A and B are shown apart, each in its own frame.
Chain A
Amino acid sequence: MSWQGKILRVDLTSGKITVEDLNMDWARQYVGERGLASKYLLEEMDPKADPLGADNVLIFATGPLTGTMASTSGRYCVVTKGPLTGAIACSNSGGKFGADLKYAGYDMVIITGKSDRPVYLLIEDDEVALMPADDLWGSTVWETESWLKQRHNNQMLKVASIGLAGENLVRYACIVNDLHRAAGRSGVGAVMGSKNLKAIAAFGSKGVKVSDPARFMRVVSDSHETMQGHRSRKQFTKLGTHPMLDMMNNFGGLPTRNFDDTRFDGVDKINAKASHTENANGHTNFITNKACFGCTIACGRIAHIDEKHFSIINRKEYWHASGGLEYETAYAFGPLCGIDDIDALTFAGFLMNEHGMDPISFGGTLAAAMELFEKGIIGSDDTDGVELKFGNSEALTIMAEKTGKHEGFGKVLGLGSRAMCEKYGHGEIAMQVKGQEFAGYDSRALQGMGLGYATSNRGACHLKHDTFGPDMEDQTGSGKADPCRVSQDFTAMLDSTGLCLFTASAGLKEPVFRELLNAACGHEWSEEELRICGERIWTIERMFNLKAGFTAKDDTLPERLKTVPAPSGTAKGKVSALDEMLPEYYQLRGWSSDGVPLAGTLERLGLADLTVDGK
């Protein structure tokens, strides 16, 4: 079977490291990765615990398909209670770290407690140790990865670490692996920082065994062929997710200047075409694409910044290639902040990777700060003399660096948009759900997306459901609740396998994922059983949040999206129809009108022992 059957447990308070058997009943009920880690989290911690306290539990989890020959099998996730939201956090990453963690022999690493000094966790197959990291504390992600490889004389070591943002508890700090892949959202890096855990370095040589190799390779081969010929796969390979910028702009769903508009005039200067076009200095932003472990899509972007650009003209340390613009980063630094300077966007992206921060939340928080500034609620006395006006590309790069290094106004930006705006008495300016900032889709133009944002268990997120099709066919709230629910459950299942969500966009369907799992795991899930797994995972995440104190009142959107009509585009004049969609969604889920799963629903999912006021 392709589960390793082992969990590595590390208690940072005592320094004790143990290995235990994976609960195989839970593995079959929750599959792996996101699902299985959520189950362990719910069992092992009080959801009311302080996310930045010693009682929070931090889980690194792989899936049963992680490290196998299936395409995109490099995925792992980090599950914990998120400090940005206070809700369950599940942040997923690619790169190569996940596969090595699995090859070392572990499905999951469960980290509890808090170290009294900086440490890193070194995993080399069965040899596992907590190592002092006093000399690494204060170093960037890029320095940490390089130093750990040198220190252990192993260039094959895979490192997942935090930068200065995580150390300083920036609420949207992420965990970066392989230099520029990240478990990005909800502040999982700050949890690592709060525990004085600088990094996990993993090297594995054990491989992964699948139950039926011949059957497995048949479906792997077929799935490679399907994806190879699929148009979306070709598009991801050539252009990544960047073309979404033009599409959303023309659709009129591109959040601009903190959701003041749904279209951005400067999109031609920062879109995929611009990144592939020589500028006046003969410089082209895009260099090449890049794949994560075992991936046949290779959507990653590698780019460099014009050496004559103001951001790096005297900073040769940035005259190199690194992670380039993908849609969400381009949106969050570009239209959302009103900025049309592709090199400034790219440099800010470099800083996100170097210091370990989520670009969506940073961009959302900066956009909110710009609105506070433009409305005179804060002034240059608050912002270290920087004119935080929409369109100011220098302000973007300065504040990205200040936030990463936890300096000056960067400390305020590091709180996230909700806490920052509340600090200045204007919570309504923060565009967020449950404290987490929005991805690049306006809920007034994409109604199902709005429902997905409002009900996502980790706060505003575009990756936990998929209603793009229905949203682009019809811009009312009608008929969105069911596709939202169904795709949430499907995504929860797929996120638990160890594969990337983009496989589903690149042509693979449910029977393929099921066949891969069944051949690899030696357990025969039916279509209905696997669907139930997804629903069960979604429901325990919901139960975690309800136990943490969330209610139906938190399943909402900012008033701006519900009351101020979209000013332009195909949805001009429309507001979000959330209040119409939400009751139908609760009903379809088998939840009460207060958003609590009914006893019959919990029983159907095998969760009858869960109650909101119980454990």
Chain B
Amino acid sequence: MSKETASPSLLTAVKELPGNVWKSLFRNPLPTNDLERSSTSFTNFFLHIHPVKVHKNTLRPLYTLGLGLVSFFLFVILVVTGILLMFYYVPSTAQAYDRMLDLRGSVAFGTILRNMHRWSAHGMVAVVVMHLCRVFLTGSYKKPREFNWVLGVVLLLLTLLMSFTGYLLPWDQLAFWAITVGTAIAGYAPVVGKDIQFLLMGGSTVGQEALLRFYVLHVAVLPATLTLAIAIHFWRIRKDGGLSRPADADPTPPMEMMGAQAGSKPSLPEGKKTYGLQGLVRGPLTKVNNIPDNTVFSWPNLFMSELFVFVMTLAVILVLALLFNAPLEEPVNVMHPPNPAKAPWYFLGLQEMVSYSAFWGGIGVPGIFVGLLLLAPYLDRSPKGVGVWFSRDRLLANTIFLTFLAANIIFVIIGTFFRGPNWAFVTPW
């Protein structure tokens, strides 16, 4: 039929179709040797964000606790469940609450999707804060990871904003009054406060305009920003030389191997040195001769760890979603604030502080706290104590951090359990 005898017949093509499609999708078979392991990592779009080899230290579960991964996987769960919920939600004051009831009553899997979304959102705030603690307490924000730390703080703020904007959407009493209080706190910011409040609410009170604005922020503006920031955060992990590790994690090779003369400063042979592309990459990359290699292949070591963390995260969220229903209070009644009107738990520390002074509690103290977090790597420049939990060299920094953290947690606990009607002090027992 064809003049070119080399080309296979149509029949053969059809016969070999499944195999050929598969091979065009996945360039590599399941790897059996190191070359194929490397190849699998960098020929797959979803895997190539990983290095081909990772340091053993990166994989120590008790060092990272997997908190960054858990945050990311919670975000993935939130995006998926959030998109599904969008199919039934209408950001209108007349319909939003009824849609919540529909989700609970008539939409297939509506309850569990909303539960998953709610518990993942709470979980993400908690885990992101825990991730921040891990990074701080192991000194991982230090050079060269300063900017990634700053990005991390930005990610925390974005997570809180995501949570805050999502809070209004059910349009129940809890939502309405928490947002009324929250936007009023923003109004206390110096100079631009009133404008920010007006822009957020699209009017002078929380109403239809505010609901629409919060919806757009929650489903479009903030997720897009968060996705971009996460991408840069991940990218920077690799560009900054992988996860932090103790200075002695890689034994330094003996000097003679580096070609240095005994007793003299090692110098490069003039004019002979040429730099390849690898010269542009920071950190040890080329392994020559007997330099100790503490890395293992990402396939399967890193990927199996990630899969494990993902499955665990999803399992916990599923169990929570099956056991506990996301709260839904009475529909909005703009005339009767619930007594006491409480913000979501992670803002209760803020609300507690706000009950003493609106400016200092809502803007001043949190502003100083965030400012200190952002500046931490530029103020604390000692290179000591990186890669170890609670290093003795970091006693002062860790103590300051833990004091702030404990103060915050205490305020959250007081606001959650010890405040009753009219925000009066009550005992929960």
Partners in one complex: no
Q: B residues near A, CB below 8 A? A: none
